[in-house]
Structures are given as structure tokens and as C-alpha cells.
Chains A and B, each alone.
Chain A
Amino acid sequence: MGKAIAVHSFKGGTGKTLISVNLAATYAKNGKNVCLLDYDFRAPSLQVVFKSNPVCWLNDFLDGQCSLSDTLIEARPKLSVPGVFYVGLANPSSTATRQVLTKDRKWEMRALQHLLSAKAGLYNDLKIDYLIIDTSPGVAFSSLNAIVASDLVLLVSTLDESDIDGTQRMIQDTYSSLERKTEVIMNRVLIELLTSEAEKENLSRKAGEALGVLPLELIPCYCDVQRASRTSILALDKPEHSLTRLVERISERIATELGSPMG
């Protein structure tokens, strides 16, 4: 049975999309069948990475105009990975992003139902092992729906105090209430703070005390990654990069936690 991972954050700019894309690519690289969905309807970005014009957008699926499989494009032919790699994109047009603001609670209720119903098709028909949902930051309906539909929430935070404060409250008030397994990654950590294992452990412990959850990984801020084109998928293009190795470790830990250890 497939597993769903919602990648979320309290604030924007923490690196969710980078993590989501590379996590999905890592699983596909290791022979797993993956479906990656862009659930950031307010600020879609996966269309920049995967450069495709789908027949249907995820917005159409949530409007009930098509099935989830109608929205999926197969990224594998371009990426040469052993596992299946499907991507579902959110409509980046200004009209579509504005329309998100007009949705009422009844629409959101139906959107949740559509997503929950579609999971079975992904797992049973398309044999998806991992559904990864790249969400909108903060408390947005689409993000909360993704969290409800997920088996695990991967929270991406920075060491910024306001980020830690908001992330801690989300863990306590939202994820706990929804009884979701939660893992935290601290991203964009200044490299000067990670000069030794002892410093790394100390920082991890402090972040864990502040959040109430020990972080899975501390990911340094890599200038070359910041400068790289969004169309590049580090896990595939630079397999020896430190970030690639960290994402590999994250993917293994998550797989074990979800009861399906890698290889």
C-alpha cells in the first residue's frame, strides 16, 4: 500500500519545493513509483521544474472536472529513473491563483473528498509507492487537506525565531490534533554553525527542545544550490552533492518510519 507525505512549512521560502522535488526524485531513482503534486495553489512552482503543459491542472481535478490521473504527466522519460515518476501541476495563471481566494468551505470539503478518493486509484491502479504533496506554507485549506490525506508530514523550517515559533505552534495545535506523524528538517542552516558533529548535535537538541520534535536533519545553506537553475534536480544531476546525500538519508528514515524500508 502506498504512503502519502505532505511537505509543509509555517513560512514560505524554507525550501519545501526543493526538498519535495529531490525527495521524489530520490525515491524514483531507487526504483520506487512516485507521484508528486503541487498543492501550492497560491504560488505554484513545479511547472518551472517540469516544464509541461498538462491537459488538466490539479485545479481542474479539485473542481471535479477531471480525474487525478488526467492531470498527471510522466516525468520519467526525461529523467531516466527506474521508478515511475508522475507529476501533477497547479495552474500558475493569475486567474487561477486569484480564484483560489474565492473558494468557500463547501468547495474545500469536496476538494478534500476528491483527494481522499483519488489516493486509492494512485496506489491500486498506478502502483504508486509514494505520494508527495508539496504544499502552500502556513494554515491554508489546501495544505490542511494535504495533511489530512497524508500518512506523514515533513515539516521544513529554518532556524529563524519566528519560523521556529510558528512551526512549534503548528506541531502542537494542528498536527497533533490531526494525529499525523511529523518529522522536521531544519533547512538553510548557516554552515558556520555546523563545523563539528558536537555543534551539530547541540543545535539539533536545541531545535528539538524548541519544537518539541527532534529534527530529522540539519541541512546547511548551500550557495551553489541557491544559484542553480530550478530546472535542475540535484538528486539526479549531482548525485555526489552533500545535499543529495542528506536527502537520501531523509528518504531512508521516512521510508522506515512509514513501514517500508528502502532496498
Chain B
Amino acid sequence: MKKDSPQDLREALEKINRSIEQLNRKLDLLLEEPRTNPNPESGAEKAHFDGFDVVTLLSLPDHLRKTAMVLCRLREASAEDVSKETKRARAVESDYLNQLVTQGYLRKRRSGHKVFFHIEG
């Protein structure tokens, strides 16, 4: 059986990396769309930004508070930025960040393929 050369292995890893990035982007889109209603007249509640104070922060469930505290420190961050701080998976942080947006504690903006979350009004 032919052994893969280091070059072959490197190319394979790069291909896997690109696939993961594509999957992450698709997952981002899937996680975002159901949570915000682009059509307010449909009757479903539109995401409403309230921001949060420290008492609200303390009342959050532990897993969301951890994410919110990172945003307090970084001010604006992507799911990947937050996951580096919390050591949780990027997709998990993306879910938590979007939950915080739905609950009105965070805002988000898109820049190219990336989504950034922030707490400033």
C-alpha cells in the first residue's frame, strides 16, 4: 500500500478544514434564520433589543452567563472569538449567542461571511 507523503496529508487536512468552515457557515445560517422574524406582520415577536444590567446577568443560566460575560469583556465578538475564550465548541457558542439575541440582550451584525455580536446599544 502506497504511503501518503507529508504533502498529501497537508492537502487532505486543508481540504477538511475548508469543509468544516463551509459547514460552520451553513450552520450559522440555519441557527440564525428561525430566531428572527423578518416579517413583523406575521404576528411572531420580532427580536427586541433591551441590553442587560448586572442583575439580569446574574439571573441568566450559567451557560448563557458565561457567554455574556465574554461579550462584556470583548465588547464585540464572533462565535469563534467567544469559543476561544470559553473553550466550548464554536457551534455551541453560536447557539448561545443567538439565544441571547432572541432574548433581547445582544445585537448582531453581519460582515461578509462573519456574524459579530455585541452588547452596546
Contact = CB atoms under 8 A, between A and B. Distances in A.
A178 B57 contact: yes
Say which size band chain B's interface belongs to. Answer: 10 to 19
Nearest to A146: B54
Interface residues of A, number: 20
A115 B65 CA distance: 19
B96 to A, nearest CB: 15
A178 B69 contact: yes
B44 interface: no
Contacts of A147: 54
Main secondary structure of the interface of A (DSSP, over half): helix
A144 interface: yes
Given A116-B72, A116-B75, A108 B65 contact: no
Nearest to B120: A113
Given A117-B75, A177-B65, A148 B51 contact: no
A174 B121 CA distance: 25
Contact of B55 (A106, A110, A120, A144): A144
Interface string B60-103: 00100110010011010000000000000000000000000000
A149 B57 CA distance: 13
Given A174-B58, A178-B57, A109 B69 contact: no
Given A113-B51, A174-B58, A148 B75 contact: no
A112 interface: yes
Given A112-B54, A117-B75, 16 more contacts: A108-B53, A108-B55, A109-B52, A109-B53, A113-B119, A116-B72, A116-B119, A120-B75, A141-B53, A141-B54, A141-B55, A144-B54, A144-B55, A148-B72, A177-B58, A179-B66
Interface of A: 105-106, 108-110, 112-113, 116-117, 120, 141, 144-145, 147-149, 174, 177-179
19 contacts: A105-B56, A106-B53, A108-B55, A109-B51, A112-B72, A113-B51, A113-B121, A116-B72, A117-B75, A141-B55, A144-B54, A145-B54, A148-B57, A149-B72, A174-B58, A177-B65, A178-B65, A178-B69, A179-B66
